[in-house]
Amino acid sequence: MVDVGGKPDSDRLARASARVTVAPATLKLLEEKALPKGDVLAVARVAGIMAAKETARLIPLCHPLNAGSIAVDFTVDRERSSILVETTVSLRGKTGVEMEALTAASVAALTIYDMCKAVDKEMVIGDIRLLEKRGGKSG
């Protein structure tokens, strides 16, 4: 792991996103909360938050962080028949929270996939990316 012990604390924030493209019929079931496994977005939100908190256990050499705030939000895009996952993680500390935001977005997307797979065999997870990073030297 990189030694961050000598770095000063600063306010850190990272935003990330992922997109899950589904069949129009799946999107309708998701919006109506009529899928067999229940309220997909509520479960995916909790999964994303939990994943952000466990990033150091999942990705080798990531520092364990004590996030001050973790948010997981969704936008249903009927035109693209997809769900946009957007995450924000912040803290005051010595290292950035990009990996936590990306992990939250990825796991939230995987949870949507898992909860919809019984009715949709052609879903696609994509566009996983960092949207914003603030704090530290480069932010």
Domain boundaries, the chain: 11-134
138 pLDDT tier (thresholds 50, 70, 90)? low
CATH code that applies to domain 11-134: 3.30.70.640
Q: How far is CA 119 from CA 1, 52, 113, in A?
A: 42, 28, 10
Question: Where in the sequence numbering do the catalytic residues fall?
Answer: 114
Q: Give the mean model confidence (pLDDT) for residues 40-62.
A: 96
**Residues 66-97: tens digit of each pLDDT:** 888 999 999 999 999 999 999 999 999 888 89
Start-to-end CA span in the chain (Å) = 21
